[in-house]
Amino acid sequence: MKISENTSVSMPMKNMIGIIIAVAMGVFAYTEVTARLTSLETSRELFQADLLKKSEQLPTDQEQFMLLEDLYKTVEKIEIRIEDMMHNKVNIEFVTKQLEKALADIEIMKDKVRANGSH
């Protein structure tokens, strides 16, 4: 059997397309697995670095961090309350304007009723 650059190979087009698709799927799967492994390794390294940092902290540092976290939570709650109060202020101002208009309309109606009674 002689093989040279002029040797021809015949293959059905369906088989060739199938082989190309299989190779493409293999390359895609390999890149996905590689990306996932890289992500997991990075995550593990960060976790280990975080553990090392925590082990180096003094108890007073840990207590201060806990206090800071508590302060942040408290500040967030206060901010939410302030926002709610701002909405209440807008609503109160709107109702006040509506009430002033209603009182003015009532006074106009009273004046008309008095004017009708004096004729």
pLDDT of residue 1: 67
| CA 117 to chain centroid | 67
On the question of pLDDT at 89 being above 90, the answer is no
Residue-wise pLDDT for 92-113, tens only, equals 888 999 999 999 999 999 988 8
- For the entire predicted model, the pTM comes to 0.36
Is pLDDT larger for residue 78 or for residue 4?
Answer: 78
Picking from 29, 28, 52, 48, the residue whose alpha carbon sits closest to that of residue 40 is 48
On the question of pLDDT at 62 being above 80, the answer is no
The tokens describing 87, both together, are 């909405």
State residue 80 phi and psi, 5-degree precision: -65, -40
On the question of pLDDT at 119 being above 60, the answer is no
**What is the pLDDT of the chain when averaged over all its residues?**
86
The CA–CA distances, whole Å, from 102 to 25, 71, 91 equal: 74, 46, 16
